[in-house]
Amino acid sequence: MFPNDAACADFLFGLRYPSGFACPACGSTKAWPAGPLREMICDGGHRTSITAGTLMHRTRQPLQTWFHAAFLVSTLTPGISALQFQRQLGLTRYETAFQMLHKLRSGLVDPERTPLAVEVEVDELYVGGVEEGRPGRGALDKALVIGGVEVVRYEGKGKDGSLVEKMRAGRVRLNVIPDAAATTLVPWVQKNVAAGAKVVTDGNASYNRLGSLGYLHEQVLATHKGEKTGHYLPLVHLIVSNLKRWLMGTHKGAVLPKHLQAYLNEFTFRFNRRFWRGPAFTRALGLAVSAEAWPEYDTLYASGTEDGWEHPDTRLNADASR
């Protein structure tokens, strides 16, 4: 998308002035690009920098370098080092890479920074081991994993076009746990789910205290043995089955319990940021950082509802969905 600095400047311009440029000094809409692409000059002679208020203001680095850097920071894992960063961008000075990296990171938002909230499904399941059903081995390689998934309810169009309530997964948390005792499960919920949230679990008595700890606790009871999967706690089971498929497919199931948490972390990292790549990119550049100007996690999910985010501009929308 960004073969040169002119393309970067165009993108910036479109984001900042979606309905056309107006001079901030006199309001005039008669204006022309001036100098090296980063300035507009109006018919009253006022100069306006299109990078003002962003990380790129008054920088000597090309816009393209900043865009490349923002892409790396917002799409790769946060583990990229300043040295790797310097090499990737072809920067001569390590200090420049170090400073750019820190500036860009400061603009990012971590979707995991707050506990799961509003409505959360919680369940524990066995994960890992060799192929399920293979006798003899599996059980020893399996680990008990607790999962919490935010339930996001929103209004969408049904098959006949009428409005119906739909649900989908919000953020997720996954941890290896030693057992399914109350002394393990209850503190996990307290650490990972905000007080006051509705917590939906199965009938396991270990969860019984949640109601007295400030949660709205709802237990779903299976009427027949084995009927639970899919019908109850559908989101947490969907996520765990995706996790199992990934472990079995990509990693051939060869994940030992002692390493499982690292894989859970990787899975969680990607899952919780699946809607974040586009927003993270422009946010990393220091654009549209105010709450009014950019969708937050919850409002982005609720897009299309009364409380949801309204995309102000189709171009912004298209870029954010990438």
By the criterion CB under 5 A, which residues form the site for Zn ion? 23, 25-26, 28, 42, 44, 46
User: Closer CB to Zn ion, residue 25 or residue 52?
Assistant: 25
Question: In one letter, which amino acid is 190?
Answer: Q
C-alpha 235: how far from chain center: 17
Q: How far apart are CB 51 and Zn ion at their closest, in Å?
A: 18
Q: How far apart are CB 25 and Zn ion at their closest, in Å?
A: 4
User: Closer CB to Zn ion, residue 28 or residue 242?
Assistant: 28
User: Closer CB to Zn ion, residue 41 or residue 108?
Assistant: 41
Structural tokens at position 179: 């057992």
Q: How far apart are CB 28 and Zn ion at their closest, in Å?
A: 5
Q: How far apart are CB 74 and Zn ion at their closest, in Å?
A: 34
User: Closer CB to Zn ion, residue 22 or residue 177?
Assistant: 22
User: Closer CB to Zn ion, residue 44 or residue 196?
Assistant: 44
Residues contacting 203, CB < 8 A, separation 6+? 219, 220, 221, 222
CB 260 within 8 A of CB 127: yes
What's the rounded Cα separation, in Å, for the pair 229 and 227? Answer: 6
What's the rounded Cα separation, in Å, for the pair 11 and 322? Answer: 15
Instruction: Count how many Cα atoms sit within 13 Å of the Cα of residue 5 in the half-sphere of its side chain.
Output: 14
Q: Which of 221, 186, 180, 184 is nearest to 207 (CA)?
A: 186
Q: How far apart are CB 277 and Zn ion at their closest, in Å?
A: 37
Q: How far apart are CB 27 and Zn ion at their closest, in Å?
A: 7
What's the rounded Cα separation, in Å, for the pair 7 and 68? Answer: 13
Structural tokens at position 238: 């969907």
User: Closer CB to Zn ion, residue 43 or residue 218?
Assistant: 43
Q: How far apart are CB 301 and Zn ion at their closest, in Å?
A: 40
Q: How far apart are CB 293 and Zn ion at their closest, in Å?
A: 23
What's the rounded Cα separation, in Å, for the pair 319 and 316? Answer: 5
End-to-end, the C-alpha distance of the chain in Å comes to: 12
Q: Which of 110, 43, 118, 45 is nearest to 77 (CA)?
A: 110
Burial class (CB in 10 A: 0-12, 13-18, 19+), 132: exposed
Structural tokens at position 170: 């919000």
Q: How far apart are CB 42 and Zn ion at their closest, in Å?
A: 3
User: Closer CB to Zn ion, residue 28 or residue 204?
Assistant: 28
User: Closer CB to Zn ion, residue 33 or residue 312?
Assistant: 33
User: Closer CB to Zn ion, residue 23 or residue 37?
Assistant: 23
Structural tokens at position 248: 């079995």
Residues contacting 213, CB < 8 A, separation 6+? 186, 190, 195
